[in-house]
Amino acid sequence: MGRQTETVNCVHGAAFEALMQADPSTKCRMAAALRARWGAGRVAATADSLAPEAVETPGRPEKPRLVDPLEVPRRKLTTPAGQAALVHAIAHIEFNAINLALDAVYRFRGLPDDFYADWLQVAAEEAQHFLMLRRRLWSLGHVYGDFDAHNGLWEMAVKTAHDPMLRMALVPRVLEARGLDVTPGMMERLTTAGDLQTVEILDIILREEVGHVAIGTRWFRHLCHQRGLDPEQTFGELIAEYMPGRIRPPFHETARREAGFTEREMEILKG
């Protein structure tokens, strides 16, 4: 796809440059730098920026090889290979999360500045998560790309590219929120296996991911209210339309409530 050229002080264009960067280290540096530039007032959302284009494939390295989720092998956490495979899988999720946050800044226009500030913060924090996991992967004798992965998160980004309300509902509040549900169990199994270094990293990630899901909640509700929609009813309708039968227990209810899920929304998920 062609590259877009925008003025250097346009946050949308800068986010696009970082989004399309294939090298993970450079992408992480660009995400952190863009957040700092926004905080210093050196970039801004501009009304005359070029309209966003479709991004079927964001910048990513040649590896990992992307396969169907059912083709990703499951490994026992009691083995070094299994521990490395798990760290790789989570690192891949965090790499995708950088792209998702950058795409939200690039794609969705005309929103309050706080929207862009929030998602630039998420992009920078997801970059830190990826770097922590990649260092852990190195210590286990592997590099990012050594294991196959799937592309589910980005596929949902493509499906929700036309509507920020849909994106906020289904990506941070459904797909990424699954991390809140499953991480405690992973930490428990890794503790039993003696991998306390990975547990420490996951503990940091879990705390910050609650905030990321809360950001999704904040902007989902903002967009619902802007359109005169009831957020709880709308969330239920979107789950029924786009994710029927795909959301299953366990649920980390404490973390989800910290991230803004209401009692009614929890009942929708359980139902």
| pTM for the structure as a whole | 0.94
* pLDDT of the residue at 68: 84
- The answer for residues whose C-beta is within 8 angstroms of residue 135's C-beta and 6 or more apart is none
Task: Work out the number of other CB atoms within 10 angstroms of the CB of residue 164.
Answer: 20
Is 114:218 a contact under the CB 8 Å cutoff? no
> Which pLDDT band holds residue 6 (cuts at 50, 70, 90)?
very low
| Whether the predicted pLDDT of 17 surpasses 70 | yes
Neighbouring-strand partners of residue 44: 10
The mean predicted confidence, pLDDT, of the chain is 92
Is 224:230 a contact under the CB 8 Å cutoff? yes
- The answer for residues whose C-beta is within 8 angstroms of residue 190's C-beta and 6 or more apart is 77, 83, 86, 196, 198, 199, 202
Query: Which of 14-23, 151-160, 206-215 has the least mean pLDDT?
Result: 151-160
Higher pLDDT, 248 or 26: 26
- The answer for residues whose C-beta is within 8 angstroms of residue 40's C-beta and 6 or more apart is none
Q: How many Å apart are CA 126 and CA 144, to the nearest integer?
A: 15
Instruction: Give the model confidence (pLDDT) of 210-266 as tens digits.
Output: 999 999 999 999 999 999 999 999 999 999 999 887 788 889 999 999 999 999 999
Residues counted in the chain: 271
- The answer for residues whose C-beta is within 8 angstroms of residue 219's C-beta and 6 or more apart is 111, 115, 118, 164, 168
In this structure, which CATH number among 3.10.450, 1.20.1260, 1.20.950, 1.10.1200 belongs to the domain 68-270? 1.20.1260
Instruction: Give the model confidence (pLDDT) of 168-197 as tens digits.
Output: 999 999 999 999 999 999 999 999 999 999
Average pLDDT over residues 85-102: 96
Task: Work out the number of other CB atoms within 10 angstroms of the CB of residue 135.
Answer: 13
